[in-house]
A and B are shown apart, each in its own frame.
Chain A
Amino acid sequence: MRIEVEEKEGYHIVTPIGELDVYTVPLFRKVLLRLEGDRKHDLVLDLSKVTFIDSSGLGSLIETYQKVTSVEGTIVFVIENPRFMKIMKLVNLDKVFKIFPNLGRALQSIGVSGGYIDREFFSDEI
């Protein structure tokens, strides 16, 4: 797994790419612990490039959510993959997390402007 981190208007956009499971959770945790700055607890977890998640991966998302909310930070999630959403629903996390279908909408929800294309909005597909 590879993890990309970008800062935009004070928010850290963290994008894990690949499988988020029992093998890769330690790396994911490590990256999140290394975030710096006054607003290190304001996060966008862009999970649109996660190709597989297991219970350990879900545990790491919950852990992050709990850390952020305990210091009154902001955390939103991006999940595009219907299969991933199915698993979130199985464990009722869809009722706890703020989940958006693409990064554009997630950023819009926290008031970060511009620079991202809402692929769905510009899609030719009906």
Chain B
Amino acid sequence: MRFIGRKKRAKRLSVHLPCKKKSLRKARSIVKKFANKQGFSAEADDIALAVQEALKNIIQHACPADNTMRFVLIPSDDEMIVEVSDRGQGFDVETLKFETPSPTALHGRGVQIIKGLMDDVTITSGKNGTIVRMQKKKSQENPV
């Protein structure tokens, strides 16, 4: 039997971590390792920090009843998609439109960092939880 033109299924990494501060460093380490392995070494630090900031927001604002934070990393040839999600009570994403903190504000910088580091960010939230979907394009700095 021959398979012609069958696409190789992209490897994806799905991680569940307890909703606590201790998980952040672990998440960063997992993301960096996976990104490096998948050929995104030039982007690994940016992706890892963006995931850490998204998880930190969950810990600060929305630790869900199941006490679990989830993220999925989906690499392809030219981009890495990351989805960070929780099953908390959600929030009004419209409020984020007005939340560009002044440079000297003490808090509220997480989303600003995520948006600055990643190429595309969409946040959806409802009564079943929140999903932060981020895309990072692969640069040409990566070894082929």
Contacts and interface: CB of A to CB of B under 8 A. Distances in A.
A59 B25 contact: no
A65 B102 CA distance: 14
Contacts, number: 51
A55 B117 contact: no
Interface string A86-100: 010011110110000
Contact of B53 (A52, A54, A83): A54
Interface in B12-55: 21, 24-25, 45, 49, 52-53
A23 B24 CA distance: 9
B103 A93 contact: yes
Interface residues of B, number: 20
B43 to A, nearest CB: 12
Q: Is the interface of A mostly helix, strand, loop or mixed?
A: helix
Nearest to B102: A92
Given A54-B52, A55-B53, A83-B45, A91 B106 contact: no
Contacts of B113: 54-55, 87, 90-91
Interface in B96-144: 101, 103-107, 109-110, 112-113, 116-117
Size category of the A interface is 20 to 34
Interface of A: 21-23, 52, 54-56, 58-59, 62-63, 65-66, 83, 87, 90-93, 95-96
Report, nearest first, the 4 A-B pairs whose CB atoms are least far apart.
A90-B116, A92-B103, A55-B109, A55-B110
Given A59-B106, A95-B103, 18 more contacts: A22-B24, A22-B56, A23-B24, A23-B25, A54-B49, A54-B56, A55-B109, A55-B110, A62-B105, A62-B106, A65-B104, A83-B45, A87-B116, A90-B113, A90-B117, A91-B101, A91-B109, A92-B103
